[in-house]
Amino acid sequence: MEKPVIEEITIIPEWIPADVWAEYLAMRMKKKAVPTEYAKKLVVMKLERFKNEGFSVVDILNLSIVNSWLDVYIGRDMQKKVIVVREKKHEAEKKARAIPRKPNLVNADEIEKLRGELFSIGRKLGHAGVDEKLMLKDRLKKITNEIRKLKDDGMRLKA
C-alpha cells in the first residue's frame, strides 16, 4: 500500500513560524491524523482568530504539540494573562475618556457673583420699560462674556 501524498498549504501566513507549523503537522502525522488541506485552513483560521484576540500563536501551537492535541486550543494560563492585559487596557481607556464633572476653576467666586447679577437682571427684565430692557439686555451680554472669559482663563491656569 502506498502512503497518501500530503499536500502542504501553499501559503502559510507570515505570522505563523514555519518551523513550529512543521512540528505541529509532524505531530499530527505521528498520531496518524494526517490533516487535509481544508483542515489546515481551518486551523490557520482558528489561529488567526486567537492572534487577533491577543494570544501567542507560537504558544498555542507548542501547547498542542506538547499535549499531542489534533486541534489548537488556548491554555488556561494564556487566558488568564490575556484577561489581565485586557482589564488593564480597559482601565487605561476608561481613565483617558474620563471627563471631570465639575471643572476646577480659579475664578469660581467671581463667576458666582456674576451669575447672581444675571439672575437679578432676569427678574428686573419682566417689570422694566423699553429703554431699561435694552440697557439690561446689554448688561446681560457683557456679564455673559465676562463669565466666558473667566472660565477660559481659569481653565488655562489649571491646565
Alpha helices in the chain (DSSP H): 18-30, 37-52, 57-66, 76-97, 108-125, 130-158
Measured between alpha carbons, how far is 62 from 57 in angstroms, rounded to an integer?
Answer: 9
- Band of the pLDDT at 44, cuts 50, 70, 90? very high
Q: Are 151 and 105 in contact (CB under 8 A)?
A: yes
> Which position has the higher pLDDT, 2 or 115?
115
**Predicted TM-score (pTM) of this structure:** 0.48
Q: In the prediction, which pLDDT does 43 show?
A: 93
